[in-house]
Structure 1
């Protein structure tokens, strides 16, 4: 036991985790970073077709605007390759600093861009460039924050503590939506001239706050242990693809569950406002309510996964989302606001949250410390890239009149089914000691698990 340790189970000379501090830093940092990321989604659905694209063909402008939302997801696998490598080489903490600064800068610059009316086709080109930078940042953010919390957490509470990253993501979406509600209610002239810029310019404040919060965060005990033993992988990607290619493919498939999120958050918003004729601000409030419910549901699902396992909870989320997408889009098409709020909260706030709460620990536990950040980043971001363009696929499926919501629901359900099948092929790891994760022989827990609590 170290001289300053109050933990009777502490091991002499071994760095001790700080799970609460790591979880708080991950929660706040993710909330602030994903505020930046999600305000783009609302703008792409409601504003950018009229600001950055030629309005002579409204449907094409709308389709291309939604495609720019997906551009960030296409950039995320590239960011995962780069940031995953350095995260496993130099540590999780430094990557978390870099991602928040990159996201803040790119988001602020979006608020400064000239419009299509001012410079023509140069406007969407600059917009796409900034969106690519957002995608590069997001690629490293969740993987580094999830690795940080997982490696700080007690072995039997990894699900709970890693869920704070995704809980923070939901909080960021709430913040982004709340900022956009008064903006969406501005007169059309003010909205399209200066109003849309305000949420993006506010990212400067967000960036400074997140940087200050993460400044005092310690590197993880597991990464320090690997570093002390001189076991840091020189080429994490090569080692990952040599020994863990199956796990990477499994994570890619499971990550397609994110299609349910992008269809709910972006395509359904556009469908409800542009096709069905519902109030923009009211639909934004549906997102606020659903994400508020998710803030409560995520830690509960995560705690359940620490008791019964990751797989059953994840499957509830993936299979349930495939069913609930039909219910929610039907409610939107019915024009009934009470039904929309109820089904939105149940779908996105409760059911989808089961998968959302579990995947940070579920995916991270498939890999060892040496390649964890690379494995999570590459696997999730490749899957998320497909999910990001799901809104464009959905717009194509819905057709020029945008009314084929059942086709969109079937497409989303198919992605959820792939996610469920991928999860079924994974081994259960919730009881495996942290130091044994990623080893092919670590399918069963060791009896000393309780003695490893931090």
Structure 2
């Protein structure tokens, strides 16, 4: 269940780091490639849903996953040109077609995996297990943000470059307290001070 979602995270983080740090493209060009690709995805998602309704969610989901598998080499070929338009074409294709098909079909696909009586429990279990298998087990307490048994490791500076350079499209953040004047407390709990972590980076996109 988490596989096609993992693809989007890998593309967001890996593609940006690869274009900027490995190929030497400018940060502006790298972000422009992702912006174009994500815009294309907004169009392809509903199309993927329509195709799933017409031809069956299982078929469309599988086709989307297979496209991602076989488009890996053409993707790197296009990105390695260091041409912004060609790189955008490659990333848009794998984003739009693969995620458009898998994301557009997943609602019906997941709903039909389990009988109605067990649907919520089944989907929730799949989601959590796939997250643990693909993303590793998250650490707790003051170690929050770390993980065990992860399948990918991104250097922290690159991850924060992603945050600070506008890689986040939308963020859902929580707070301990918010007063009437709009002041936000995210780090002090009674006498315990834990720091703000990456919240400032994630909220300033």
TM-score of Structure 1 vs Structure 2, range by shorter chain: 0.5 to 0.7
**1:324 aligned residue:** 71
Q: Is the contact made by 2:79 and 2:90 (CA closer than 8 Å) also made in structure 1?
A: no
Higher strand share: 2
TM-score by length of 1: 0.29
1:242-257 alignment, distance < 5 Å = 251=1, 255-257=2-4
* Partner of residue 376 from structure 1, selected from 123, 127, 135: 123
Bigger fraction of residues in helix? 1
> Cα offset for 1:390?
4.1
Q: Which residue pairs with 1:344 in the alignment?
A: 91
- 1:22-33 superposed matches below 5 A: none
Q: Give distance in 1, aligned partners of 2:124 and 2:131.
A: 10
- Counterpart Cα distance in 2 of 1:311 and 1:366: 10
Q: Distance in 2 between matches of 1:360 and 1:321?
A: 19
1:272 is aligned to 2:33? no
Consecutive aligned runs of 4 or more in structure 1 exceeding 3 Å deviation: 384-391
Structure 1 gaps of 5+ residues are: 1-250, 396-454
Task: Report how far residue 364 of structure 1 moved.
Answer: 1.9
Deviations 1:62-93 (A, max 9, x none): xxxxxxxxxxxxxxxxxxxxxxxxxxxxxxxx
Match of 1:361 in 2: 108
Distance 1:326 1:263, change over 3 A: farther
Q: In the superposition, relative to structure 1, how do residues 281 and 391 fare at CA in structure 2: closer, same or farther (>3 Å)? A: farther
Question: TM-score, with normalisation over the residues of structure 2?
Answer: 0.61
Contact 2:80 2:87 in 1 (8 A): no
Question: Larger Rg: 1 or 2?
Answer: 1
Greater RCO (Cα-Cα under 8 Å, separation 6 or more): 1
Deviations 1:337-374 (A, max 9, x none): 12101111111022331111111220122123333222
SS in structure 1 at match of 2:74 = helix
Could you say which residue in structure 1 is the equivalent of 2:152? 391
1:100-115 aligned at under 5 Å gives the runs: none
Mark the runs of 5 or more structure 2 residues left unpaired by the alignment.
136-149, 156-205
- Matched with 2:41 is 294
Q: CA 1:390–1:293 in 2, change beyond 3 Å: closer, same or farther? A: farther
What pairs with 1:142-181 in structure 2 (closer than 5 Å)?
none
Distance in 1 between residues matched to 2:28 and 2:151, nearest whole Å? 23
Q: What does 1:6-155 correspond to in 2, within 5 Å?
A: none
For the residues of structure 1 that align with 2:97 and 2:44, how far apart are their CA atoms?
6
- Say if 1:313 and 1:354, in contact at 8 Å, map to a contact too: yes
The Cα of 1:262 is off from its aligned counterpart by 2.2
Cα 1:261/1:357, change in 2 over 3 Å: same
